[in-house]
Amino acid sequence: MNVAIIGATGYGGIELLRLLHQHPFVKVYAIYSSSQEGTNIAALYPHIHTIISHDLQTLDIDHIAKEVDIIFTSTPSGVAGKIVPQLLEKGVKVIDLSGDFRIDDPDIYKEYYNMNQRATQLQKKAIYGLPEWSSFDSSLSFIANPGCFPTVALLGLAPIVQELTIDPASIIIDAKTGVSGAGRSASEATHYPTVNDSVVAYKVNEHQHTPEIEQQLKKWNHTISAITFTPHLIPMTRGIMATMYVTLEEKVTSDEVHHLFTETYRNHPFVRIRPLHSFPRTKEVQGSNFCDIGISYDERTSRLTIVSVIDNLVKGASGQAIQNMNLLCGFDEGAGLQHVPLYP
């Protein structure tokens, strides 16, 4: 099957290219860039020299429609909203890695993304592609890939908010992310002297992933109205750790809560539940599509602590997009993604 990538020069795009290169059932037909056309991708990323060689092309919707089965859009916010409608009209299946089609309410999108949401008529057609909790069939043509923070948070919270009685106002998500989550473009906030030897909270109570997390939690549990989500930037390249707190309003034991998690994800190969009171490190999922989760229930306070980790560029972006593609096309869910994490 031929696939293509729009926005191949960013970290999400080059990770897509790396993973798709090893996929047994697809071929990367073309990659596109709005600013680097004519440049070979290996000139921008020498680590793929002699392994992957593609010249970046100018986007031609009509040509794509004739040659490509699925296209990944890994573009800045606002760009996919212009491109995706044209691709869908031509019959091309799209997996969008931007945030343009994740939020159902255009007013909320504008509030958090500081721009008007384009192609709002497509929102009902977009399937929110959290693979462990979404339904797929071959008739689908459009998947909105979740953000990195929503992925790590929702996978950790899903069993609890759906199966147990909780205090809906008690959900707190304290998350730490590596610098690659900010993208390839340099800025003062991600400059080495700024990031090194430092931890900083940012976009406190205003991060654009907040409404995405809330939207899905409300679909699972209508009593949830709002959450507290605070992201932090830490001096590492890859990885996200979300430490989440939820107050339970029913009597349970630690073993019962742990059993709920293990049973929920028993048939989902990319979510690994740690033994009770064992907690994952970000390094233990680096370079992989795994989400590792550890839990601890404090019966004194009735508060559950959930620690969830992912590689933000793989399970948080490109790996999950390929997992979505596999399910959409009827491939084995793990095709092209069965990588052992890099360690140390």
Instruction: Kindly give the residue spans of alpha helices, DSSP state H, lying in the chain.
Output: 11-21, 41-44, 61-67, 80-89, 106-113, 148-163, 192-195, 210-220, 254-264, 319-329
148 tagged catalytic = yes
- What ranges make up the beta strands (E) of 192-302? 200-201, 228-233, 240-247, 271-273, 291-298
Among residues 38, 227, 245, 233, which one has the least CA distance to residue 156?
245
Q: Given the structure tokens 């384009």, which residue do they identify?
A: 118
Cis peptide before 150 (omega within 30 of 0): no
Rama region for 203: left / alpha / beta (φ>0; ψ in -120 to 50; rest): left
8-33 core/surface letters (b: 16 or more CB in 10 A; e: else): bbbbbbbbbbbbbeebeebebbbbbb
- Say how many C-beta atoms besides its own lie within 10 A of residue 7's C-beta: 23
Rama region for 210: left / alpha / beta (φ>0; ψ in -120 to 50; rest): alpha
Q: Are 78 and 118 in contact (CB under 8 A)?
A: yes
Residue 300's contacts (CB-CB under 8 Å, 6 or more residues apart) are none
Reading the block at residue 2, the tokens are: 């031929």
Edge-to-edge strand list for the sheet holding 303-310? 200-201, 228-233, 172-177, 240-247, 303-310, 291-298, 271-273
Catalytic residue among 103, 127, 148, 173: 148
For residues 111 and 187, give the distance between their C-alpha atoms in angstroms, rounded to a whole number.
Answer: 23
| Residues involved in catalysis | 148
